[in-house]
Amino acid sequence: MATKIEKQIPISEVRANMAKYFKNAEKNPIIVSLDRGKSSRVILSSKFYNELMEAYEDKQDAEEMTILKKTHRGAFIPWNKIKKEMKL
Protein backbone atom coordinates (compact mmCIF):
# COMPACT_ATOMS: atom_id res chain seq x y z
CA MET A 1 0.00 0.00 0.00
CA ALA A 2 2.55 2.58 -1.11
CA THR A 3 1.42 6.15 -1.55
CA LYS A 4 3.24 8.05 -4.25
CA ILE A 5 4.24 11.57 -3.37
CA GLU A 6 2.63 13.79 -5.95
CA LYS A 7 4.21 17.15 -5.21
CA GLN A 8 7.97 17.62 -5.27
CA ILE A 9 9.51 21.02 -4.63
CA PRO A 10 13.16 22.11 -4.78
CA ILE A 11 14.66 22.68 -1.35
CA SER A 12 15.58 26.26 -2.31
CA GLU A 13 11.87 26.96 -2.94
CA VAL A 14 10.93 25.45 0.43
CA ARG A 15 13.56 27.55 2.20
CA ALA A 16 12.32 30.72 0.51
CA ASN A 17 8.65 30.03 1.34
CA MET A 18 8.85 27.86 4.46
CA ALA A 19 5.91 29.50 6.27
CA LYS A 20 3.67 28.91 3.24
CA TYR A 21 4.55 25.21 3.04
CA PHE A 22 4.17 24.69 6.79
CA LYS A 23 0.73 26.29 6.62
CA ASN A 24 -0.23 24.15 3.60
CA ALA A 25 0.87 20.97 5.40
CA GLU A 26 -2.60 20.79 7.00
CA LYS A 27 -4.32 20.60 3.60
CA ASN A 28 -1.60 18.86 1.59
CA PRO A 29 0.12 16.71 4.18
CA ILE A 30 2.96 15.36 2.07
CA ILE A 31 5.45 17.61 0.32
CA VAL A 32 8.90 16.38 -0.62
CA SER A 33 11.64 18.87 -1.23
CA LEU A 34 14.38 17.99 -3.66
CA ASP A 35 18.09 18.37 -3.04
CA ARG A 36 20.16 17.99 -6.22
CA GLY A 37 17.24 16.24 -7.88
CA LYS A 38 16.77 13.58 -5.18
CA SER A 39 13.93 13.36 -2.65
CA SER A 40 15.32 14.48 0.70
CA ARG A 41 12.64 15.88 3.05
CA VAL A 42 8.97 15.48 3.86
CA ILE A 43 6.76 18.15 5.43
CA LEU A 44 3.54 16.98 7.06
CA SER A 45 1.18 18.23 9.70
CA SER A 46 1.55 16.93 13.25
CA LYS A 47 -1.96 15.46 12.96
CA PHE A 48 -1.04 13.47 9.85
CA TYR A 49 2.25 12.38 11.44
CA ASN A 50 0.46 11.15 14.57
CA GLU A 51 -2.10 9.25 12.47
CA LEU A 52 0.70 7.72 10.42
CA MET A 53 2.63 6.62 13.53
CA GLU A 54 -0.51 5.21 15.14
CA ALA A 55 -1.28 3.15 12.03
CA TYR A 56 2.33 1.92 11.94
CA GLU A 57 2.22 0.94 15.63
CA ASP A 58 -1.12 -0.84 15.14
CA LYS A 59 0.39 -2.83 12.28
CA GLN A 60 3.40 -3.76 14.40
CA ASP A 61 1.16 -4.82 17.29
CA ALA A 62 -0.92 -7.02 14.99
CA GLU A 63 2.20 -8.68 13.58
CA GLU A 64 3.58 -9.30 17.08
CA MET A 65 0.26 -10.75 18.24
CA THR A 66 0.20 -13.11 15.25
CA ILE A 67 3.69 -14.35 16.14
CA LEU A 68 2.75 -14.75 19.82
CA LYS A 69 -0.38 -16.72 18.95
CA LYS A 70 1.61 -19.06 16.71
CA THR A 71 4.38 -19.67 19.25
CA HIS A 72 2.35 -19.75 22.50
CA ARG A 73 -0.86 -21.58 21.67
CA GLY A 74 -3.04 -22.05 24.73
CA ALA A 75 -0.76 -19.95 26.95
CA PHE A 76 -3.07 -16.92 27.04
CA ILE A 77 -5.82 -16.14 29.54
CA PRO A 78 -8.84 -14.31 28.08
CA TRP A 79 -9.16 -10.70 29.27
CA ASN A 80 -12.76 -11.26 30.41
CA LYS A 81 -11.60 -14.07 32.71
CA ILE A 82 -8.90 -11.86 34.25
CA LYS A 83 -11.39 -9.01 34.80
CA LYS A 84 -13.83 -11.41 36.45
CA GLU A 85 -11.19 -12.87 38.77
CA MET A 86 -9.97 -9.39 39.73
CA LYS A 87 -13.54 -8.09 40.03
CA LEU A 88 -12.94 -5.24 37.60
pLDDT at position 63 over 80: yes
User: Span 20-43, mean pLDDT?
Assistant: 83
The per-residue pLDDT for 59 is 97
pTM greater than the 0.75 cutoff: no
Inter-residue contact 5 to 48 (CB < 8 Å): no
